[in-house]
Structure 1
Amino acid sequence: MANSRFQRRSNRSKNIRQTRSSKKPVAQNGITRRSLNSSKQRGETKTLTLPKFRLLLVWAFLVSAMLGLGWKTYQLQIVQAEELKEKARLQQTVNIRPYIPRRSMIDSEGNILATDHLEYILYVHPIQFKLPPAEVADKLSSVLENRTPQELIERFKQRKTGIPVARNLHEGIAEQIQKLGLDGVEVNETYVRFYPQEKMMADVVGFVDHERQGQAGVELSQEKLLQRDLESLYVQRTALGAILPNSLPQDLLKSNDWRVQLTVDMRLQRAVRAALQKQVNKFNAKRGAVIVMDATDGSILSLVCEPTFDPNTFYKSSIELLKNWTVSDLYEPGSTFKPLNVALALEAGVIQRNTVIHDSGLVTVDGWPIKNASKTGNGSINIAEVLQTSSNVAMVHMMRRLKKEDYYNRLQALEINQKTGIDLPGEVAGRLKRKEVFTERSIEVATASFGQGFSLTPMKLVQLHGALANGGKLVTPHLVKGLVDIEGTLHWQPDYPSKQIISPEVSQTVVELMETVVDKGSGEPAKTEGYRIGGKTGTAQKAGPRGGYLPNAKITSFVSILPVESPRYVVLVVVDEPKGGNTYGSTVAAPVAKLVMDALISLKGIPPAK
């Protein structure tokens, strides 16, 4: 029994082992033995491939870095080379802009007309006061002239900072203010433009404003010339910032002493202004002007307008005085243009020097009666007598001998409707009617024959008479002679154009005809014993703004050329709207011209005629 039990137990165990061996392996913790074996194999593969991947990654990084460095080197050495050089230069150099004053202006004799000088300006900043305003005012008034403490306190109330209290302080006063050691009180240095001749040369020189910009005269027209060439420069510096002396340009200050020399003569200018001012006041005239020109080259020796202004205090003057009306205002020249018409007629061959013209005292053109200023006729007179008597009627008959179109073309050849080109700002061109209008009606020829119906500036009239004086050349009036150094050596000179408009023979003939006006005619008040002077008076009506002429308004003038035997100088005197009954070119303008010519003869050493 026991054996049978043991046998059954053995058989059961045997069956169980057979059953287990016939089944698939059972997973332990979800992983079979086979999977474990596979995992071990893959782990071994990863262990082998990971170092290779890392090596490739490092290699790729190094190659990329080398390529990047190579590209950057190419950019720096080739592409950006010039740009980087410039940056390096800028780091090693410094750009300095030294203050350089405007060039000084001098006259033909070297007298200073305009210059820059150091000025001290007192500013106060009440917000920074550590003392009571009244105490600050007391301390400042003890130094400043003509400033009471109460006045200063009122200034302090204007704003909290930046109040200009005094300008043009002397260096000594500026030092006294600084020694006071007052907080909120500041003395600044600045350069200002100074005109030592004051009113004497204002019409020529002009002025600059508070921003140092030219606003009139040569200061405006020659702005670039007056500004010095050197505006900024680059110099090398050390690592500590010190400037290396050898980096400064050799010619840094070479041209800084050059000055702008003008053609005007202060001595003549004083004589001219005195003569004109006296006559303007005597006749209570609106204004007056005198121009003296050397006709050989167009240089202006004197240019005066009266009344005028002080360029040091230009802001106190009327704006009308700040312009030079000899180049900006038009007027009808009247009889002072008659010598030019005579020249045109001689040039055209329609008259000769001894031609006789009958003056009946009245001529009617297109229904308009034209009379002489004397209201009488002069009978049969030659060309010299036409100018001596200033006959309007004879001039009409003379210019009628030219065809209208020919006359107009000859007027255009004088460049009446063009600017002179003078180196002053604000010049305007003259006005000559259109050819169609001029040639349509005979009255246009008639009025033009005695200087009306067209307009020009006084400067243009001087230019045209200069052509009579210099042999027929239309020169460019000018004021700038050039740039000179401190020794007076000329380093630069402008080029002024000229052109021939009249033959030398005709121009000399007209000057000799004008001499008879001074010797025997209306120009006798300008006569100077021992000298041959040609001249022509003019008393012209003033054109109104809406056409026609203004009643009781006229411009008196006198133009002269000297010496007749060798013509060179032209003098024009214009007095606008003189008051009184005896106001003509012969009584108002000619006496001024005589004084001017006497001064000119003395200064230029013109010898008397033989």
Structure 2
Amino acid sequence: MSQGRKVSQKNRSASEKAGWLRGSVDTLKKKWRLKVVQSVLLVAGLAIGYRIVDLQLLDRHFLQNEGDKRSVRYESVAAHRGVIFDRNGDPLAVSTPVVTIWADPEELYGASEHWQALARELGVSLKWLSDRVEVAKKRDFIYLKRQLTPEQGAKVMALKVPGVQSINEHRRYYPAAEVAAHLVGFTNIDESGQEGLELAYNEWLSGEPGKRRVLKDRKGQLARQAELMKSASPGKELMLSIDLRLQYMAYRELKKAVELYKAKAGSLVMLDVRTGEVLAMVNQPAYNPNNRAGMQAHKMRNRVVTDMVEPGSTLKPFTVAAALESGQFYKNSVINTTPGYMRLGRDQVKDFRNYGAIDVTTVLRKSSNVGVSKMALAIGPDKVLDLLQRVGLGQSSGTGFPGENPGYLPYRDRWSDIEIATLSFGYGLTVTPLQLAQAYMVLGAGGIMRPVSLIKRDVIPDGVRVMDQQVADDLKKMLREVVHGGTGGRAMIDAFEVGGKTGTARKVGPNGYIKDRYIGMFAGLAPIDNPRLAMVVIIDDPSGKTYYGGLTAAPVFSKVAAGALRLLGVEPVDSVAASSSHRMAFIPYALQLEEITEGAGASSVSTFKEG
């Protein structure tokens, strides 16, 4: 029994020893795990600590860049578009600061409680605003209102509506409004040229936007402005050749005439004979570039450079010039126009009445179709066309104006007699009013051709001689007689001697010449002895019986030229001549009937009349 007790005690002792050993091993395992965990935590802590030190002290740009991505924005700094001036420095187009309001639709959608106040300040209906936000709520950007005044923009931003932001921009404003609209043109809402010289010189006038960096909070609100990264470069200025004083006067007189004669349209262009600069260029109907609501395309056309017309009798001086240059005719040469008409095959050219045997000056003064036809037939069409081309017809004037039309000069291998005759008095070819004015400018400059310019010139170009000076001087004397004793009597001016030629051309339709629809014209020089101005006036499709160029266009020339010469400081002629001019301004009705001779243009040829 004692033996069994000893065995039992021995077994218990062994068991206790084994339990102790197991406990020691477990304790060691726990301590080892703790050490491992502590080591891992220590290493992790050291790594984190090092990274913090690295980011904060050694590699701080990383955090700055990451923060900038979430708070720094780059915004465009609007650049001023260049100002357009007239020749005297009066502004024709300027850029004014405006504010554009835009929004983040998703953010604005969640702030519907602000919509009523926002709509009120924007000047729109609540329904319009809610519909716009609803449709675009999944987009990132929408415009709410463009080109508000800075005061209006400040009121909108003062509401502090979530998601609503503003952009500073510029809006084009035209102080002369419709008076210079056809020439200056206009820009779109982003200040990019769309018409006129705004389009032609868009690259010159456009500025280069700048860039600035701004800091915004998590709601997108501006926290502070950081720095200007790049300065905006304003566009270059543009100084035009036109004189705004003359432009206003020309616009007023042309508009009055178009309204008086109930005409469809009208055009006037005035050139400086000495320099080739355009001093005035106006059209009717016109439009206001500051208010384009309901603007119609036909009102936007600069008819002076885009619309072609048959020049009618205003071309006769150049037929006469070609005849004088040929050496076959002289200013005193006598041409027999009896019996007042001539047959050319099956066709007939006729005058208002039988003028009998008349000299070349009288041919122009009476506007004899028979006379110029005989001269053209004698020298041939090539000499006539050569001179017309030399004075700038049938080709662009080179102004660079968008949509400028080169006109049309016919060239044929064979010419019939009737084709030569109709060419001689201004049918079968087309010109723009600017081309016709340039051709008369050549006469005024003594046969020198200078390029036409819409930009003010600091240096006068020498020009190129395209016509014999004696011929040009003879033509000027003849044009004076047209005004003093012929169809151009209503173009006379008190205190100044002028010269010019009337023209009345039948309008062309889809099926040929239109019955009882005409274009009245006058082209002239002032003063005629030492021309300063060359001017063309077009009255398109006047209603009623008063449609001849001598009755509709010549009075406009008289009024505009008189005012222009005084504004430009041109010395008047002596009082005796002035008094004579004044007396001759009262033309008897019988003399006015001579106007019909140049109205006979198309109707004088039976084939032409039928179209």
Aligned to 1:78: none
For residue 112 of structure 1, report the CA deviation from its aligned partner: 0.9
Select the residue among 515, 522, 535 that pairs with 1:571.
Answer: 535
Matches within 5 A, 1:441-480: 441-480=416-455
Instruction: Kindly indicate whether residue 347 of structure 2 is the aligned counterpart of residue 392 of structure 1.
Output: no
1:498-547 deviation line (CA, Å, top 9, x unaligned) = 4211112211211111111111222111111221000111101123345x
Select the residue among 80, 83, 98 that pairs with 1:101.
Answer: 80
1:588 maps to a residue whose letter is T
For residue 365 of structure 1, report the CA deviation from its aligned partner: 1.4
Instruction: Kindly indicate whether residue 519 of structure 2 is the aligned counterpart of residue 555 of structure 1.
Output: yes
Aligned to 1:502: 467
Aligned to 1:481: 456
Counterpart contact for 2:340–2:350, Cα < 8 Å = yes
Select the residue among 277, 283, 306 that pairs with 1:328.
Answer: 306
Aligned to 1:37: none
CA gap 1:188/1:590 in 2 versus in 1, 3 angstroms: same
Counterpart contact for 2:192–2:206, Cα < 8 Å = no
Counterpart contact for 1:272–1:304, Cα < 8 Å = yes
- The secondary structure found in structure 2 opposite 1:284 is coil
2:167 maps to a residue whose letter is N
Matches within 5 A, 1:8-27: none
For residue 415 of structure 1, report the CA deviation from its aligned partner: 4.2
Aligned to 1:342: 320
Counterpart contact for 1:423–1:478, Cα < 8 Å = no
Select the residue among 492, 495, 501 that pairs with 1:527.
Answer: 492
Select the residue among 174, 177, 181 that pairs with 2:153.
Answer: 174
Aligned to 1:237: none
For residue 559 of structure 1, report the CA deviation from its aligned partner: 0.9
Matches within 5 A, 1:180-579: 180-227=159-206, 258-314=236-292, 316-359=294-337, 360-372=339-351, 374=352, 376-437=353-414, 440-481=415-456, 498-546=463-511, 548-579=512-543
1:107-134 deviation line (CA, Å, top 9, x unaligned) = 011111112221112234443237663x
Distance in 1, matches of 2:109 and 2:542, equals: 62
For residue 180 of structure 1, report the CA deviation from its aligned partner: 1.1
1:339 maps to a residue whose letter is P
Select the residue among 564, 567, 574 that pairs with 1:603.
Answer: 567
Distance in 1, matches of 2:482 and 2:383, equals: 28
Counterpart contact for 1:472–1:502, Cα < 8 Å = yes
Distance in 1, matches of 2:162 and 2:210, equals: 35
Select the residue among 527, 541, 547 that pairs with 1:583.
Answer: 547
For residue 155 of structure 1, report the CA deviation from its aligned partner: 4.7
CA gap 1:118/1:535 in 2 versus in 1, 3 angstroms: same
Compare CA radii of gyration and give the structure with the larger one.
Answer: 1
- The secondary structure found in structure 2 opposite 1:445 is helix
Distance in 2, matches of 1:564 and 1:386, equals: 19
For residue 153 of structure 1, report the CA deviation from its aligned partner: 4.1
Select the residue among 120, 125, 131 that pairs with 2:99.
Answer: 120
CA gap 1:410/1:150 in 2 versus in 1, 3 angstroms: closer
Distance in 2, matches of 1:508 and 1:231, equals: 55
For residue 278 of structure 1, report the CA deviation from its aligned partner: 1.3
For residue 436 of structure 1, report the CA deviation from its aligned partner: 0.6
- The secondary structure found in structure 2 opposite 1:114 is strand
- The secondary structure found in structure 1 opposite 2:399 is coil
CA gap 1:272/1:244 in 2 versus in 1, 3 angstroms: closer
CA gap 1:243/1:124 in 2 versus in 1, 3 angstroms: closer
Distance in 1, matches of 2:382 and 2:102, equals: 69
For residue 98 of structure 1, report the CA deviation from its aligned partner: 6.2
For residue 256 of structure 1, report the CA deviation from its aligned partner: 5.2
1:537-579 deviation line (CA, Å, top 9, x unaligned) = 1101123345x31222211111110111211211110011111
Percent identity of equivalent pairs: 30
CA gap 1:143/1:214 in 2 versus in 1, 3 angstroms: closer
Distance in 2, matches of 1:273 and 1:601, equals: 16
1:515 maps to a residue whose letter is R
1:364-414 deviation line (CA, Å, top 9, x unaligned) = 113211122x3x222222222222221111111222221344334334434
CA gap 1:231/1:503 in 2 versus in 1, 3 angstroms: farther
Q: CA RMSD in A?
A: 2.8
- The secondary structure found in structure 1 opposite 2:539 is strand
Distance in 2, matches of 1:121 and 1:99, equals: 12
Counterpart contact for 2:488–2:500, Cα < 8 Å = yes
CA gap 1:168/1:608 in 2 versus in 1, 3 angstroms: same
- The secondary structure found in structure 2 opposite 1:431 is coil
2:505 maps to a residue whose letter is A
Counterpart contact for 2:109–2:133, Cα < 8 Å = no
1:544 maps to a residue whose letter is G
Counterpart contact for 1:555–1:577, Cα < 8 Å = yes
Taking structure 2 as the reference length, the TM-score comes to 0.73
In structure 2, list runs of 5 or more residues that go unmatched. Answer: 1-73, 212-225, 575-611
User: What number of residue pairs does the alignment pair up?
Assistant: 484
CA gap 1:302/1:211 in 2 versus in 1, 3 angstroms: same
Q: Which moved more, 1:263-272 or 1:121-130?
A: 121-130
Distance in 2, matches of 1:124 and 1:232, equals: 22
